[in-house]
Amino acid sequence: MKNKLKIFSGRANPPLALNIASVLDRSLGEISIKTFSDGEIWVKYEENIRGCDVFLIQSTNGPSENIIELALMIDAAVRASAGTVTVVIPYFGYGRQDRKDQPRVPISSRVIVDILSAMGANRIITMDLHSTQIQGFAKIPFDNLYSRKIFYSVIKNNNFNPEKTVVLAPDIGSAKMSQSYAKTLGMHFALIEKRRFAPNQAEVNHLIGNLDSLDVLIIDDMVDTAGTTVSAADAAIAKGANSVTVVATHGVLSGPAVQRLNESVIDKLIVTDTILIPEEKQIEKIETVSAAGLFAEAISRVHDGESLSALFEF
Please write the tens of the pLDDT for every residue from 151-199. 999 999 998 999 999 999 998 888 889 999 999 999 999 999 866 655 6
Q: How far apart are CA 273 and CA 228, in angstroms?
A: 21
Query: Which helix or strand (DSSP H or E) is residue 196 part of?
Result: strand 188-198
3-state secondary structure of 216: strand
- As a whole number of angstroms, the distance between CA 208 and CA 135 comes to 32
The predicted structure's pLDDT at residue 190:
96
Q: Is 4 a catalytic residue?
A: no
pLDDT of residue 3: 86
Q: What is the pLDDT of residue 1?
A: 57
Q: pLDDT exceeding 70 applies to what percent of the chain? A: 95
pLDDT of residue 204: 63
pLDDT over 80 (residue 132): yes
Residue pair 92/129 in contact by the 8 Å Cβ criterion? yes
pLDDT tens digit sequence for 244-303: 999 999 999 999 999 999 999 999 999 999 999 999 999 999 999 999 999 999 999 999
Average model confidence (pLDDT) for the chain? 94
Strands 31-35 and 41-45, bridge-based pairing: antiparallel
Q: pLDDT: is 36 or 197 the higher one?
A: 36
Question: pTM for this structure?
Answer: 0.94
Q: Is 190 helix (H, G, I), strand (E, B) or coil?
A: strand
| Statement: residue 214 has pLDDT above 80 | yes
With a cut of 60, say whether residue 47 has pLDDT above it. yes
Residue 140 has pLDDT above 60, yes or no: yes
**Kind of pairing, strands 142-145 and 123-127?**
parallel
Please count the other Cβ atoms lying within 10 Å of the Cβ belonging to residue 244: 25
pLDDT value, residue 198 = 58
- List the catalytic residue out of 100, 139, 194, 285: 194
pLDDT tens profile 195-212 = 665 565 556 668 999 999
In whole angstroms, give the CA distance from residue 225 to residue 201: 9
In percent, how much of the chain has pLDDT > 90?
86
For residues 30 and 48, give the distance between their C-alpha atoms in angstroms, rounded to a whole number.
Answer: 10
pLDDT at 111 over 80: yes
For residue 28, pLDDT beyond 70: yes
- 84 φ, ψ (degrees, to nearest 5): -140, 155
**Pairwise pLDDT comparison (16 vs 174), residue with the higher score:** 16
